[in-house]
Each structure stands twice: as structure tokens, then as C-alpha cells.
Structure 1
Amino acid sequence: MSRLITHLRHVDLAVPDYDKQRAFYSGVWGLTEVAGDTGISFLAAEGSPEQYVIRLRESEEKRLDLVSFGAATPADVDALAGRLGAAGVTLVGEPGPLATPGGGYGFRFFDLDGRTIEVSADVAVRAHRRLEPKESVPVRLSHVVLNSPDIDATRDWYETHLGFALSDTLASPHMGQVMHFMRCNPQHHSMAIARGPHASLHHISFEMRGLDEYMYGTGRLLRAGVRMIWGPGRHLAGDNTFSYFLDPHGNTVEYTTELEELDEDAWHPHVYDFSQPEVTDQWGTANPMNELVAKESFNDVDRGVFVAPPV
């Protein structure tokens, strides 16, 4: 099938302690607040042309509001909406103008697990800049990982309906398959699907300028007392670095850099045995992956499943 999704735009979170989350992301994490209103904040990455990469919304319940992807043209948005509607996918609304920063044209729908997904085109490009050496703030949003009780069914849904392709899989002899890395462009993954006990956010990843900036940022967070659950290290699948932290509401967030770019015509997916330590961390510098580390990213049960966010 033709691929109409081009890239990951932003991830939107609802949080009970809005002020604490806003201070975290616009402070030590290194994003820039570019717009907002009472109980809502839009945060951009300095090196990204996207209007924002994180939206925070004040809510009594913690939830993943939505994941937003880009399309090339409004015609592609319409084509995707028609394709999904014909396949019986529940649309939250028909394609139309967006009222969020940068405007654009898009629509929302529920994925197989009940997450709200948005696809948009013609969003205005934000004025952004090249980060300087040693400037340890995120350049852009790298990828998002989602927990699913049935990763094979969710993988098939994204392949069938949105044209994502499988890049690699993590598995072990004792646990079977635990993560599928999915791409919508030559980047190794814009999204991954992790096996978890319930549908929820696994982690959000932010690209840094380079290895030095990645390490400076990791050190800044450690000095600020932010809890790091895993890292620093370098994965085999995707060949990217990783430092995983917890935000104030227990969502896992990652600093990364140097995520692999693939030759899509020549690429064949691997199945990596993640029980081998060099698979989870090529460098051998991170604390060992174990059940306690894995459970940190199971996150809370998402109360927003099959319930579209109010904004």
C-alpha cells in the first residue's frame, strides 16, 4: 500500500499536576514554551521546524491525549481518512482546519488499542535554529513507544492502515517477541510497539545534537536530581544512544542521538535476542536491563483509551 504518513509531529499528555510538568519540560528537560492558555501549554524543540513537540493539558486524570503524525498534503489527509473510514476504523472527526498553533488540515481517529491518533498537513513551519556545540537541549522529537497487550496485532494494524514498515524486533527465548520497531520514513523507527500489560505510553524520545550534547544533557538531569531508570548506553536495534528518565508523573522520557537511517529498498528486519547484553547496550555502560527496569515503562493504565481528548 502507498505510505501517506511522513513523520512524527508531537505527543500530547494530560496531567493532574500541570504546573509541575510544565516546569519540568520547559526547564531542566530543555523545551521552549511557544504558546498556551489556562491549563494548556505547547512546547517546542529548538532545532525542530514543528510548531511544538509536546502538548501538556491540565486534567484530573493522567493520560496520553494523542500522538500526531504528518502527511505531505491535504489530499493525502483526505485519502487516509477515506481509507480508514472504509476499513471501519472509528474517526473522531472528519478532516478539517486545525485550531492548534501553526494551523493546518487534519483529523483524528482511534487506533486498534484505543489511542487517539492525529494526522495533519499544511501546518506552518516554525522558525527554528541550528544548535551550538555543547548545547544540550533537544533538537527534535525522535520517536514514541507505545505499550500494547498484543504487539503483533497492533503492528499489523499500523502496517495495514497507516503504511508503517517493520524495521526490527526484540525477542528472547523465554519471553518471545517484546518490541517491534516501526518506521514511516528512512529513520529506523518513528514509533515502536512494546509488549505491556495494558495500553499505555512506554516512552517519548528526544534527539540531541550529538554524543557530547547527549552526555551533557544526561549529566545535567542527574545533577538536577531527575531519576534515571536506564542508561547511558547504546542500543543495537537502531544503533542509537539512550538515557531514560522519569518525568514528574512517571512517564518515561529519553535523550537519544544518532538513530540509524536505513536504505529502505535494501533493508531486511532482524530479530534480536535482547537477553544478550550487547543487544540492549552495545557499550556495556548502562545498568543491566531487568524486570524492574522494564516495569518502570509499563506506566499507569491509560484512562484515555477510546475517549478522545476534549481539545
Structure 2
Amino acid sequence: MIRFLHHVGLSVPDLEVGRAFYEAFGLEARVSGEHLVLRCKGRGQDQIRLMPGSPKHLSYVAYGTDAAGMKQVRKNLKSHNVTLEDAPFNIDSKGIWFRDPSNDWVHICEGVEAPAAPRPTPEVNTHGRYRRIGQRACDLTSSSRIATPLRLGHLIKFSPDMDKSIAFYTQVLGMKVSDRAGDILGFLRFGCGGDHHALGLAKSSHSGLHHLSFEVMDIDEIEMGAQSLMAKGYISAFGLGRHVGGSNYFHYIRDPWNSLVEYFWDIDVIPEDDSDWVVLNAAGPHELAAVWAVGPPKEDFAHNYEVPDGAEQGPSMALNEALAHG
């Protein structure tokens, strides 16, 4: 039913601090009323909307679908007694708004996913498939190159009830489980096929954003982007490495409010006809974390830093403990 990830809305205490970080990350910013909208260079689709608010928190996630998908979503929401609500933010938006089992806002609109800006694919020489002949892969100019993200590929957010959340996104919105680790971590993809996961769910005492993940062209761009951000004072949280769940290469960097952003490349793709795909149900999230990585994740890698109402700080959660004891 839902077919693609459109964009994510975040409330942050300082829009200009957000602008500085995400422009350093490689996105382009523009003002939209009282908000700041960020896009990938040359791609005609919002990827992040920053809105004034304190403390920082995940405000909503927007997905796209076609007319048939929208009709089925409306039918499923009604049959599961999910209430449609007025747009909760000062946004000129079309589509429908409702809350998921974690009480997070979800926005669905009709549309077509915008293509990424065309870029030449870097050639890679592997044994028996030599494509780059008489040409350097790297030269002196590449050292100053920064990452240019192509698209927002996925997000992982926290949920206090994994089974209920997974049931909602699969039964009501038509997603499918790609891999999971019991009731601690789950990776969901769109039913129409595509990336191994567009949405990840991680167990916590309360909702919140763990990370946003942007696709780049190759492993070099992952690390050049990460190194560029670290040179500006931003903190590395985990990487360089390669995941098991999704198989993608990765590097995670802390944003100014302790959520994470990830550069990724070479993710598993699952077709709509997915009869041959075998879902892993790992003993723990550590089994899905990394085939290899440069060092372990920082101790707070899986900490939920978003503050629930009435609390002073986000408590550590099950995913953090499971990774630590893996």
C-alpha cells in the first residue's frame, strides 16, 4: 500500500544549528514559512522538514503511495479503528494524518517518488570484472570531495511495543518484515519491493528517532562524508562498517541533538515477488549489527535521547543492553 518514504519532520530548538549540520552533511536547505526544508542536491522531493520546537523530537514521518494504495490504506485504517485527524503542523499538505501505536504522527500522500539526480556510477574493479582500465579511482582532487546524498533511504525509530508496531505497519500499511531480532529490533520494507528496509523499529521505553539514513554513490563517499563532518567537530558513533541486516556499508554521525545520521551504500534489494527471501530472526540485534566494523559502536549508540513528557532524560533501552552484551 504505502510505496515510498517521502520525508521526515523534526522539531528542533535551533533551525540554524540544524541548517549548518545538514548542509555540512551534504543536503541543500530552503526556507518554507517558519520551517527549514532540506533536499538532496538535484532531487525534487523534500527529505527533512525542520520545525521550531524544544526539546528536539521526531514530529512525523511522511510516506507516498498511488491512488489504489491510498484507497486501501483508508479502508484498513477504518477497519482497525484508527482515527484520521487534521494536519497537526502548520504545513500546506495534502493527504491524510493519523497516529501509529507509538503515538507518532504518520502522513500519507498520493504521488510518485522523485528520481535522484543523475550521476555517473563509479566503476569498481573486481576479479574477473575489470571495468576501470587506464584510469585512477582516486586522485588528488578526491581528497577535498564531500558526500552528496542521493536520497533518504530509511529511518529507524524507537517503539515501546514492537509486536504491536510491526503488526500495524504490516497489516494496516502493507509493509513486510525483512529481518528481525525477537521483540528488540525489526526491519520493514515496502510491499511493492525495494530496499531491505525503509523503516526500522527498535524497542525502547518510549518513542523517538534513532537515525536517518541517506544513500551515497560508493564506500569512498561514505567515509569522505564522515571524515568531513568529524573535521567540523561532529561526533562519529559507529563505522565504517558493513551491516548484516540489509548488508549495506555504513557510517553513523551524531547530529547536534544526539540523534544519528547515516551514510549508506550497497543495500540489499528485495523484489515484490519475494518468495525466495528468507527472514532472519536473530537471537539478538548484535547478530544483525555488523559483519565487520572499525571498532565497536559507542556505548550510547542505541540510547534513546528523545525526552518523553514529564521525564528529565531518555532512559537506556533494551536495544542498547542487547548490543552491549552481544
Pair in the same fold by TM > 0.5: yes
3-state DSSP of counterpart to 2:3? strand
DSSP 3-state at the match of 2:74: helix
Counterpart of 1:16 in structure 2 is 13
1:116–1:276 CA distance, 2 compared to 1 (3 A): closer
Q: Could you tell me how far apart the structure 1 residues matched to 2:300 and 2:186 are?
A: 21
Report SS of the residue matched to 1:153: helix
Q: Tell me the equivalent position of 1:309.
A: none
Contact 2:181 2:285 survives alignment (8 Å):
no
Q: Which residue of 1 aligns with 2:185?
A: 179
The alignment-based identity, stated in percent, is 30
- Residue 84 (structure 1) aligns with: 77
Structure 2 residue 180 is matched with structure 1 residue 169 = yes
* Number of residue-to-residue matches in the alignment: 280
Instruction: Return 5+ residue gaps in structure 2 as ranges.
Output: 123-144, 310-326
- Structure 1: runs of 5+ lacking an equivalent: 172-176, 304-311
| Alpha carbons of structure 1 residues 20 and 233: separation in structure 2 relative to 1, 3 Å | same
Equivalents in 2 of 1:99, 1:281: separation in Å?
Answer: 41
State the structure with bigger RCO (CA 8 A, min sep 6), 1 or 2.
1
- Among 152, 167, 172, the residue aligned to 2:163: 152
Normalised TM-score (structure 2): 0.78
C-alpha deviations, 1:51-102, integer Å up to 9, x for none? 21000011244221110111022x53243123202321121139xxx825xx
State whether residues 155 and 213 of structure 2, in contact with CA within 8 Å, keep that contact through their aligned partners in structure 1.
Answer: yes
CA shift for structure 1 position 196: 1.2
Tell me the SS of whatever aligns to 1:84: helix
Q: Computing the radius of gyration over CA atoms, which structure comes out larger, 1 or 2?
A: 2
Contact kept? 1:84, 1:161, Cα under 8 Å: yes
Judge conservation of contact 1:21–1:249 (CA < 8 Å) in 2: no
Do the aligned partners of residues 195 and 291 (structure 1) sit closer, same or farther apart at CA in structure 2, a change above 3 Å counting? Answer: farther
Distance 1:110 1:180 in 2: 19
Normalised TM-score (structure 1): 0.82
- The reply on whether 1:189 has 2:197 as its aligned counterpart is yes
- 1:154-193 per-residue CA deviation (whole Å, 9 max, x = no partner) reads 111111111110000135xxxxx42000011321000010
> Residue 131 of structure 2 corresponds to which residue in structure 1?
none
- What aligned pairs does 1:64-103 form with structure 2 within 5 A after superposition? 64-73=58-67, 75-93=68-86, 99-100=92-93
Contact 1:63–1:302 (CA under 8 A) maintained in structure 2? no
Q: Does 1:110 align with 2:110?
A: no
Map of 1:31 onto structure 2: 27
The alpha-carbon deviation at position 146 of structure 1 amounts to 1.1
Kindly tell me: are residues 7 and 275 of structure 1, through their superposed partners in 2, closer, same or farther at Cα, counting changes over 3 Å?
closer
- Structure 1 residues 6, 249: closer, same or farther in 2, change over 3 A? same
Question: Does the 8 Å CA contact 1:47/1:130 hold for their aligned counterparts?
Answer: no
Structure 2: how far apart are the matches of 1:251 and 1:293? 9
Q: Structure 1's 132 and 46: CA in aligned 2 closer, same or farther, altered over 3 A?
A: farther
Question: Following TM superposition, by how much is the alpha carbon of 1:293 offset from its aligned partner in structure 2, in angstroms?
Answer: 2.5
Distance in 2, matches of 1:32 and 1:302, equals 31
Cα RMSD over matched residues? 2.4
For residues 269 and 142 of structure 1, the distance between their equivalents in structure 2, rounded to whole angstroms, comes to 20
**Deviation digits for residues 109-149 of structure 1 (CA, Å, limit 9, x no counterpart):** 10011100011113695884437866612110010111011
